[in-house]
Chain A
């Protein structure tokens, strides 16, 4: 993925046919300074950030894929703020994938905010500078004597004014300023940044306009389904294609030969027809003989057995070792030992995977709900023998990303099918296809030993992490950072790993790595706090008060959110007044540059029925929240997703395949389970960072710690619904 660090930015400007101006930045990969200025080639006008027409309407292109994280609203807000226009005069359009014009067109890693915060504002500010220059030239006054407000340039001395729409054509001929040097607003003057701006697609969503990938159609479009082997990576041996071809509504049935990479095109049978429903129904009569391959012998149960065996020996390799953990444990006043595990999870985006593709005249045009169009294009080009330039990708609103659409398996399937079919074709997966062919959040197993001294301080930590991968290379999203808390904060610290080779596709799920590790580490820290007889908040604050070196979380910022979470939840007062069976739990986690501490209050009936009563979330993602509405909402959604995962989500692998196929056996959180989530932001003096992911991880251990506080049951294995929580 590209970053914007130390890269010179070009500004390209051109006049619109019919008046107005258009502006684009290009973040040059080769670091060559300069400006193309006016006279950019005509095709440059096809993609840009800003278009101003003579009537004063400002159209801003949203460059990144919208997956529900609010980026289609947020990026244009940054531009509009510095352009100094009224948000009501702004129209937003989704840009297509175009790496020649836009940088960083992807959705992932909570990266949009930190990556776009300055570049998008500079685009707006540079355009404003040119509009001012145009007015100054027209009025023959110094630009410094002119100011802007809400889409109007005004000359302070004479009071003359002109709307941006009137100035746009002249502005397009002004020299483009150096983006790195263009002055930006004082945050005290922000009118759009920091306000509550509803999503730009809200009207289209609530009126049912076709917006999503699944809604997109083309004249003459056919529909496709794709049957893969239920065992990951299995090969087609034989299929009753002739029979399927004769079924009503079916136009094609053919075997697709895939490769061996689970991230690429896999073997399967494509069925194409006139309607999706008829085509999918034909699958009921599709009979495929599979060569299931070696993964057919793998299972979640088997992995758990392997983990138990591996725990009997030393870790396969060291991830981090500070001091002498074994000696420190031997000398500790108290030692706690525990084993934790968490299961595979499916992303379960509500919009099933789909993609529309049309191959003609040696070119492939794709309409895809994808988080990573660039890698999708690369995968399609590599797999199908095309040049990347022969592939066009249009971005569509995405009915949930969560990391699932970082992979482009559905894109390469649609593209492959389109190359065999005349005219456009849309591939649509069923829910079962989707849940059984995901890139799962990997399961993980941990054996932990922790020691506290006679002062009740955590002094020794030893963690054997059994995960998945080959040799010393973790599978996707199955790893752990050597700096993961409490590394650096515990003097005698040992983190080792053993890896189980496997054939299950894994990938990033919202806050990857963190969504499993936070549960384990913040739960075990809770166990140690109780063993030490310390308050769980105070125990953590002491840990965060130690002098540390190296990369990782900033203890001052984490103390800030932990203290805030304790304050807003009434931790030190409310907790002591709760009835039996009701408890409060706390946890914090640092991920994706964001700091979150959360408190959960939960109640468990004597029969063991669990209710999440309330959540308090305190976050520090910098001094400036860009969109107050979305920031609060993303936090609430991430917290509730964490609770959803913890309560009942689990994919079990049986005979090399995912046992769960739909929501009846993979329960997502529902209305009646959604606890109120209070959101509080600590405005620290740091640049703004992303919010899609960091609020999620602490929600899980805060809940399991609350269950312990309520009942004395320590949940060490997820999901919670497999445990008997009854008490008397």
Chain B
């Protein structure tokens, strides 16, 4: 079955079984490897893309449902890695293993596009479908706040980061 949609602004047309999930069309037909496979049942969020601007788990979305849609992947977040979220991720050193981060970025980008100044609670609600197995959650939140131009923490404290504060030993 032929399915036509746009990916990062480029029109594409693929001839694949209609029930093939968008994730595998992106990764293995269109060779866009940024979107990741983590669970296959929309539980981890590694496969998050935008479908007409909404954060969508591509691992459970039959490609037939993307017909005519605008699909955006992490590769399309910016031409050169300069999206405010990508900049914040690099500067704050958000990734550890890095595997989940494309999905985190796409969920965060969808959040900021509809709410430019989210509270921490709104960030948690929008991001709760994205698992980070390395638990980089504190820096992800900092990154979203930085990209939104918000102070590092909601209450103005050094929350979550004492900067690895140095303490000389009493004896030395």
Contacts and interface: CB of A to CB of B under 8 A. Distances in A.
A338 interface: no
Interface in B5-54: 17, 20-21, 24, 28-29, 31-41, 43-44, 46
Interface residues of A, number: 80
A683 B167 contact: yes
B123 interface: yes
Given A202-B90, A633-B139, A685-B172, A275 B28 contact: yes
B128 interface: yes
Contact of A276 (B24, B85, B167): B24
A578 interface: no
Contacts of B130: 671
Given A276-B24, A670-B131, A674-B135, A206 B86 contact: yes
Interface in A55-109: 67-70
Contacts of B28: 275-277
A389 B170 CA distance: 53
A211 B160 contact: no
A428 B91 CA distance: 33
Contact of B138 (A349, A428, A677): A677
Given A208-B75, A684-B169, A670 B39 contact: no
A402 B134 CA distance: 9
Given A350-B38, A664-B43, A674-B138, A682 B33 contact: no
Contacts of A206: 74, 77, 81, 85-86, 89-90, 95, 101-102, 105
A599 to B, nearest CB: 13
A469 interface: no
Contacts of A275: 24, 28-29
Contacts of B158: 678
B72 to A, nearest CB: 11
Q: Please tell me the size bucket of the interface on B.
A: 35 or more
B164 A631 contact: yes
A644 B44 CA distance: 15
B172 A684 contact: yes
Contacts of B81: 203, 206-207
A671 B123 contact: yes
B1 interface: no
A304 B105 CA distance: 43
A481 B163 CA distance: 34
A662 interface: yes
Interface in B94-134: 94-102, 105, 123-125, 127-128, 130-134
A201 B135 contact: no
Which residue of A211, A350, A398, A637 has the most chain B CB atoms within 10 A of its CB atom?
Answer: A350
Contact of A670 (B33, B95, B128): B128
A625 B134 contact: no
Interface of B: 17, 20-21, 24, 28-29, 31-41, 43-44, 46, 73-75, 77-78, 80-81, 85-86, 89-102, 105, 123-125, 127-128, 130-141, 158-172
Interface of A: 67-70, 196, 198-199, 201-203, 205-212, 214-215, 217, 248, 275-278, 348-352, 397-402, 428, 430-431, 556, 560, 564, 568, 618, 620, 623, 625, 628-637, 640-641, 644, 662-664, 668-672, 674, 676-685
Given A208-B102, A398-B97, A632-B162, 17 more contacts: A196-B93, A205-B101, A208-B74, A276-B28, A348-B133, A349-B99, A400-B97, A400-B133, A431-B40, A628-B164, A632-B161, A640-B135, A662-B39, A663-B44, A669-B131, A671-B130, A683-B169
Nearest 6 CB-CB pairings of A with B? A208-B34, A68-B97, A399-B99, A674-B137, A640-B135, A208-B74
